[in-house]
Structure 1
């Protein structure tokens, strides 16, 4: 193995050794030889030093090349050039909230990307992200404060976070119902729009494409996330939480661990398995929260099927038919599938009755009299105020229904009466009453957002902020990773937290603060990186598969 000596001044002992060898061989000393001589490090001494020098020279050459040392550029320009060159490698595993400021300051002013223009349904993306974050808050905070499961006023429970409306900030089950309604809406909107435009060929193509891509979109990221979790489980990084919830078994060997992971994940992919009274809705052994994914797949296929059978029906027939199916599903206890149908109905409604502002303009053949303009202006303002009042009232009604307690809701003040207004199935199943009212709350809540008066709908604004849109972008990754992060990061803080809870309130609050901060940052970091490396590429792969599988007619 041979290297070229790149250095201009060999060590003194090297000169002396070379001089001695040269005198014995009758050759010139190294001082008169080229400094680019070939050195055989297998024959010469100190090979480690030569290797270090070679590495140093490589770095030096890289810096000289990319910083243009000796040129006319300032050190600021040289540093920016170097950072720009290293950016793809250094920032691969950094989250976007670290990378974005760097990109902003290292990109020339004229080349900086313009803010992304939000579409008409961007608020649903933000809502989905916020809902995913609420699910995380639910699973993390309830490990610290199990009493949050009870309602305000029941058996002496009077925590602020148990109060109606406020509870919606940590009601994970309510957020799951929001997921299902949004999925039903988003998955069907394009096809419904094509049907209304009588573009049946395009509607069929859109429907077939959505149905083909759906399983890949749902399960490709899951295979990646649970595979990583399986490796972490085998490495002993998965910690059981204080609730006693089951954790993935650790295999005796890596081979057996991966076999167990594979079949556990495959079993998750059957959306047609028998569900007995919803009591055997299980997730993967490597992520119990994935019980929602077969429900998502099954609900997606249901709305695709309904779109197909009602594609050529009159629109009122479609609305009446889907409404009837929704009510029937609610009655028999299939609240989850009913929510997908409700999303389909809302998508249809958004096209039949678009959210537009009332106009005060007159046609050309009308006399623009002062009285007519005044009546129209005040009439328009009255309608605007009425719509604001109506949608805000529905908004808070939805939040109130989101607040139905997980435990003993039928005995909690404020929910006793409505607990009797449910089908018999939900009364018999206890906590299913919560899901019934959460589901109705989700439909009402999203309806209120849909029809919040334009041009800048008041109720949609919280979900079109930069943070909400960011959560929307990483929502699926956040959902896939929040359970694992809770077990690998958050649970490590729970033992000192329980000690603090038994000692003093101030220590408990401090422990909760630091535990929440570290766990949340770890979750956002992991979700962001997983989204960019896996989820985004899974979407691209899914589209590519669809393009390759589809014939060109």
Structure 2
């Protein structure tokens, strides 16, 4: 290869990962306390609130955060193998794929299991007592409670661990549902790169695109959220690592800026598609008119969010300016702690934030039904003081990111060391590792 730089900027991916985890948290706050944000208005006759307007509603209505994780998984998993393939080191790429495939399960399962056990301990200590009597249906229905003594709860913990990695659900930390599809997706990426590592660049692009199109045409569960995004990440990583392509794009800055701006704006607009009551607004009805683009029995909101992230990711990918912004220290820090935020925010939300909102030890109360004379349970109401929310949410977010930083520093690093120890014990050393370095022989 010539003296031109063959490496693309990939730091921005880490910054975008930090944004994705933040969006997931914001979405869960909206689900807990302001579900109408998922609609175009509070009711059919009401005017939309500012956060229900197109584009502005995007961070609160969810869906796109998990898709960003899927895309970034594909992008990151493909970086090193593709770099080795393009440099002619195919054997090195195969070795990388083998080791990456080995590392992926423990690097996901170990920290997730620690988070699961902590949620189980909180359950045994009745830490979810407040959330189970609060006025948020979503919080109550997604919070665990003790079902018996330890002879019941310990086997239940083992069963929920099994369920996490077989069915993708567990009662103690339901937000871990996405980890199983992300684990499966990583192996889809490894298998795809293994099958195409000896192909020419254009043949590999055609093959991966065909596989992407096959999943896009499928109406199976969340293929637009996971499989399509994994493969789209691989596609952009592969094309973006071609020096000729980058030189072609960068030599046309004016056209590139126009294209990326259109892509990002259009992505933000169609990604605003509501989760329900689409007919309440003209703009959402206009988007819905194009539903014929998708296969039958599709999930409309998730399909439009997938289209949105395809367009937005393309815009980011084409923009050196945006890549530089997402590569700064703040976004990189958010990205390093993104997995920890994902694992810890559910328990902190149900244990800490609910007590800030509802009080430390509130209790539901009962009134008697005048007709049946049976008691009716009334859930404790949330605070109606806007000042409380303005103060408590920043405090809670600060606590969340402090906990996430400590988790990344200690828990995640321990999991990484444990994984390396397993790898050293189970893998045969390669020849270059067996040969002593000259300085080591002195």
Please indicate the TM-score interval, normalised by the length of the shorter structure.
0.7 to 0.9
Give the counterpart of 1:211 among 97, 101, 117. 101
Question: Once the 2 structures are TM-superposed, how far is the Cα of residue 409 of structure 1 from its aligned partner?
Answer: 3.2
Q: Please say if residues 152 and 413 of structure 1, whose CA atoms lie closer than 8 Å, have aligned partners that are also in contact.
A: no
1:537 aligns to what? 414
Alpha-carbon separation, structure 1, partners of 2:278 and 2:295: 12
Alpha-carbon separation, structure 2, partners of 1:311 and 1:518: 49
The verdict on how the C-alpha distance between 1:214 and 1:399 changes in structure 2, with shifts beyond 3 A counting, is same
Alpha-carbon separation, structure 1, partners of 2:244 and 2:421: 33
1:440 aligns with 2:307: yes
1:521 aligns to what? 398
Q: Deviations over 1:213-244 (max 9, x none)?
A: 11011110011111111011100002335124
2:213 aligns to what? 327
Q: Please say if residues 463 and 469 of structure 1, whose CA atoms lie closer than 8 Å, have aligned partners that are also in contact.
A: yes
1:449 aligns to what? 316
Alpha-carbon separation, structure 2, partners of 1:216 and 1:410: 46
1:309 aligns with 2:195: yes
Q: What are the ranges of 5 or more consecutive residues in structure 2 without an aligned counterpart?
A: 1-7, 360-379, 431-442
Give the counterpart of 1:175 among 61, 65, 70. 65
Q: Deviations over 1:461-517 (max 9, x none)?
A: 44223322211111001001111111001222444794543xxxxx2x212213312
1:262 aligns to what? 158
What is the SS of the residue equivalent to 1:128? helix
Question: Once the 2 structures are TM-superposed, how far is the Cα of residue 152 of structure 1 from its aligned partner?
Answer: 5.1
The verdict on how the C-alpha distance between 1:157 and 1:132 changes in structure 2, with shifts beyond 3 A counting, is farther
Alpha-carbon separation, structure 2, partners of 1:152 and 1:178: 26
Alpha-carbon separation, structure 2, partners of 1:187 and 1:154: 44
The verdict on how the C-alpha distance between 1:264 and 1:206 changes in structure 2, with shifts beyond 3 A counting, is same
1:488 aligns with 2:351: yes
Give the counterpart of 1:473 among 326, 330, 336. 336
Q: Please say if residues 426 and 433 of structure 1, whose CA atoms lie closer than 8 Å, have aligned partners that are also in contact.
A: no
1:129 aligns to what? 18
| More contact order relative to length (CA 8 Å, sep ≥ 6) | 2
Alpha-carbon separation, structure 1, partners of 2:182 and 2:260: 28
Alpha-carbon separation, structure 2, partners of 1:413 and 1:444: 22
2:377 aligns to what? none
Give the counterpart of 1:250 among 133, 139, 146. 146
Question: Once the 2 structures are TM-superposed, how far is the Cα of residue 413 of structure 1 from its aligned partner?
Answer: 2.4
Give the counterpart of 2:186 among 300, 305, 309. 300
2:228 aligns to what? 338
Deviates more, 1:157-166 or 1:215-224: 157-166
Q: Please say if residues 331 and 423 of structure 1, whose CA atoms lie closer than 8 Å, have aligned partners that are also in contact.
A: no
Give the counterpart of 1:286 among 154, 165, 172. 172
Question: Once the 2 structures are TM-superposed, how far is the Cα of residue 148 of structure 1 from its aligned partner?
Answer: 0.6
Q: What are the ranges of 5 or more consecutive residues in structure 1 without an aligned counterpart?
A: 1-118, 274-281, 360-378, 502-506
2:255 aligns to what? 386
Q: Please say if residues 153 and 413 of structure 1, whose CA atoms lie closer than 8 Å, have aligned partners that are also in contact.
A: no
TM-score normalised by L of structure 1: 0.66
Q: Please say if residues 71 and 229 of structure 2, whose CA atoms lie closer than 8 Å, have aligned partners that are also in contact.
A: yes
What is the SS of the residue equivalent to 1:417? helix
The verdict on how the C-alpha distance between 1:355 and 1:396 changes in structure 2, with shifts beyond 3 A counting, is farther
Alpha-carbon separation, structure 2, partners of 1:396 and 1:127: 17
1:88-237 alignment runs, 5 A limit: 120-151=9-40, 155=44, 156-237=46-127
Alpha-carbon separation, structure 2, partners of 1:154 and 1:321: 47
The verdict on how the C-alpha distance between 1:461 and 1:198 changes in structure 2, with shifts beyond 3 A counting, is closer
Alpha-carbon separation, structure 1, partners of 2:383 and 2:111: 38
Question: Once the 2 structures are TM-superposed, how far is the Cα of residue 425 of structure 1 from its aligned partner?
Answer: 7.1
Alpha-carbon separation, structure 1, partners of 2:245 and 2:90: 25
Q: How many residues were matched structurally?
A: 393
The verdict on how the C-alpha distance between 1:460 and 1:313 changes in structure 2, with shifts beyond 3 A counting, is closer
